[in-house]
Amino acid sequence: MKLGIMQPYFFPYLGYWQLMNAVDTYVVCDDVTYIKGGWINRNQIKINGAPSMICVPVKDVSQNRMICKHELAIDEKQKQKLCQSVDLAYRHAPYHADVMQLFCRVMDAASGNLVQFLLRSIRDTAEYLGIQTQLLLSSEMEKDTSKKKQEKILDICSRLNATEYYNAIGGKALYDAPTFREHGIDLHFLKMDEDIRYPQGKGDFLPYLSILDVMMYNSKEEFHALLSRYTLE
C-alpha cells in the first residue's frame, strides 16, 4: 500500500495533488505545530500578470498550538471579498464558472475549526478533479503520540500497513531510506516537473501558484495529464 502524509493547506499547488493522486491513502497531518508564515491558510493566485496572496484569517495564531487547535476568524464580508478577488482575477479563464462554483461553495461554509474547513476544501477539490485516494485525518487516528518526526511517520506507516511511503521532494533531508527499509517500507520523493506550462492568461508564466490557477485554465482531462508530470527519487 502506498501512503502519503502532508499538512493541510489552503488550495495548495499542483505538487500536493500529484502526491495525493500517486498514493492509495493520504493522511492529512493536522496534529503538528502551526507554522506562521507558511501556506496553511494562504496561497498565491495570478492577478494582472503578477502573483498575489489570498488568505483566510485565523484566530489567535500560535506556534505553540497544533494546527487542529486553531479556529477561523472570517466574517461574511471577508468571504465575499475573497470570492470577488478570485472572480476578477480569472473572469476570462476558460473554466472560470465551474471553479468559482467550487471555490465559493467552500468559502460559504468557512467557519469554526480551521482543519475541518481545510479538510472540506481538500475533499471537495479532490472530488472535482476525480482524485479517489482515501483521505484520513491524523488527529483522528490511533497512534503513539510520543513519537516525533521520522518515528511518527514510521508509526503511521506501520499502523496502516504501508509498503511504500511517498513524500514531497522538499522533505528529502528529513528521512532516511535505510531506516524505512528496515521497517519494510520503500521511501520515495516526488518532484513535480519544472517545465510544466499551460496557457495562464496575461504576463509570463508563474509556477507553483494555487491549484485554483491550474483548474481555471485546464479541463479535467488536461489536469489529469498534469498529475503524472513528476519524477520519483
Can you tell me the distance from the alpha carbon of 42 to that of 39, in angstroms, rounded to the nearest whole number? Answer: 5
pLDDT for 142 equals 86
Phi, psi (5° rounding) for residue 136?
Answer: -125, 155
* Percentages (nearest 5) of helix, strand, coil residues in the chain: 40, 20, 40
pLDDT for 74 equals 96
pLDDT for 225 equals 96
Render pLDDT for 120-163 as a digit per residue (tens, 0 to 9): 999 999 999 999 999 999 999 988 777 788 999 999 999 999 99
Residues lower than pLDDT 70 in the chain: none
pLDDT for 202 equals 86
pLDDT for 67 equals 97
pLDDT for 194 equals 94
What does the DSSP 8-state code read for residue 47?
A: E
Kindly report the pTM of this predicted structure: 0.95
pLDDT for 145 equals 76
The residues, any chain, with a CB within 8 Å of residue 116's CB and separated by 6 or more, are: none
What does the DSSP 8-state code read for residue 112?
A: S
